A and B are shown apart, each in its own frame.
Chain A
Amino acid sequence: MERRDFLKKAIIAIAGVSVPIASLEFIDPKKLFAARPELHWVFLVDCNKCVGCGFCVKACKLENGIPFDADVTRTWVERYVLTKDNKVYADSPKGARNGFTSQKIDQEAAGMKDIKPGDIDKAFFVPKLCNQCDNPPCVQVCPVGATYKTADGVVLIDRKWCIGCGYCIMGCPYGVRFFHPVYKVADKCNFCYHRITKGLKTACVDACPFGARKIGNIKDPNDPVTKVIMTERVGVLKDEFGTKPQAFYIGLSKEVR
């Protein structure tokens, strides 16, 4: 009686467990790799070249219909000033849409911070944009399937289906998402999908006079961006979150947040 009982229960348990195991099909890596074509967009930022002019931010806003005076932006530039007493001051006044025209650090409600030039150990600029992560947490948390990753690696938002819950905005560790003030749905950098699919470069890449921004196809071994990523030392932002960001940085410093 006992052995029969045990066998019965075991069979039921195995049958029960095999149902959730079947769901693993959803995340079969072999299937995912097969889906990827010979195109996968990646971005390269060179913090050594960025001077904080902010033309990239202006071009992005005007190219992508984000109202210039609205305090949200698909891309922005951060300034880091490290002083001799080991303090880090960082700001991004209006996302750097007007560049950096003052030495004072904009600390919002805490006022403007004066820093004496002699006190500065090092200072640099860091452009930021959507990393088009390979494991995008924003896509994972969308309750209705309004945001998704394309086969060529760009994360897009369906403006007609988004319900505006804001979960994706809360889910992004990089703070690249926001609510579009006019359309009232989620919005973010999409690598100027309408430009790159026509053979153009993104607005920010073309606008940068100093060549601090570049976009490329990691699947093309002859792409200059690919060559840099594969042969030179590059960093990524917040990789401890497991998001697998696809924007790579040259000249990243440990103070960058």
Chain B
Amino acid sequence: MKSHVWRPLYVVVALVAVILLARLVIVPKGFGAHDQGYMYGFHRLSNEAEWASMKPAYKFDISYCQGCHDDKVAALTSSKHSIIPCEDCHGPAMDHPDDPPKLNIDKSRDLCLRCHAHLPYPTSGRSVIPGIDPDAHNPGVECVECHNPHHPNLEEM
């Protein structure tokens, strides 16, 4: 009378069958070991295209800004700040001027202090950038009250 001994096994097999059926529904198409093999390449293939198709926020192309703001661009490119992309201070252009219609104009001291808070590090290029002590040099006053951010020429002051 060994037949009843196998019944729990039938239940287990049924459970495995349920899991395999569930896989047909739940696992997305294209899931498997692709280019880099099973260890490093096991994934849903369509995810790669999802990431690639995201829309960039930053343009990082000065000719784009020059189209409307050529005066600022001209001032910038003839100054020591020419190395700074416009969007570093003004944020991502996205679809400006459609969306957003205005970009951020940050006049806070903190923005300028990123480079111009003097740090006495002899082995770093940081110490070569003209800098000030934020607590000593006109504390509380916005830098742009005296310095033109697009053409920061101290001699012309």
Are any A and B Cβ atoms less than 8 Å apart in their complex? yes
User: Hey, which bits of chain A sit against chain B, CB under 8 A?
Assistant: 26-28, 31-32, 35-36, 48-55, 58-59, 62-63, 81, 98-103, 117, 120, 122-125, 135-136, 139-140, 145-151, 156, 158, 160-161, 190, 192-195, 197-198, 200-201, 203, 206-207, 209-210
Q: Is the CB of A63 within 8 A of B56?
A: yes
The one of A26, A99, A156 that contacts B114, using a Cβ cutoff of 8 Å: A99
B13 part of interface (Cβ distance < 8 Å):
no
The one of A51, A194, A209 that contacts B54, using a Cβ cutoff of 8 Å: A194
CB closest chain-B residue, reference A46: B125
Interface 9-residue window, one of B15-23, B30-38, B64-72, B149-157: B30-38
Cβ contacts B84-126/A at 8 Å (1 or 0 each): 1101100110000000000000000010011101011111111
Q: Is the CB of B48 within 8 A of A150?
A: yes
Q: Is the CB of A120 within 8 A of B114?
A: no
> With contacts A58-B88, A136-B40 known, is A158 near B47, CB below 8 A?
yes
Q: Is the CB of B53 within 8 A of A51?
A: no
B2 part of interface (Cβ distance < 8 Å):
no
User: Hey, which bits of chain B sit against chain A, CB under 8 A?
Assistant: 28, 31, 33-44, 47-48, 51-58, 60, 83-85, 87-88, 91-92, 110, 113-115, 117, 119-126, 129, 134
The one of A58, A124, A135, A145 that contacts B123, using a Cβ cutoff of 8 Å: A124
Contacts of B58 in A (CB 8 A): 59, 62-63, 203, 206-207
> With contacts A194-B52, A200-B60 known, is A120 near B122, CB below 8 A?
yes
In angstroms, Cα B54 to Cα A190, docked, is 12
Q: Is the CB of A51 within 8 A of B129?
A: yes
In angstroms, Cα B110 to Cα A218, docked, is 38
In angstroms, Cα B57 to Cα A50, docked, is 24
In angstroms, Cα B125 to Cα A49, docked, is 6
- Min distance, Cβ A110 to any Cβ of chain B, angstroms: 21
In angstroms, Cα B57 to Cα A200, docked, is 12
- Min distance, Cβ A219 to any Cβ of chain B, angstroms: 15
In angstroms, Cα B125 to Cα A71, docked, is 27
Extra 13 A-B pairs, beta carbons < 8 Å, given A161-B28, A207-B85: A98-B110, A99-B115, A99-B117, A120-B120, A125-B124, A148-B34, A148-B41, A148-B42, A149-B36, A158-B43, A158-B47, A194-B52, A207-B58
The one of B56, B84, B120 that contacts A200, using a Cβ cutoff of 8 Å: B56
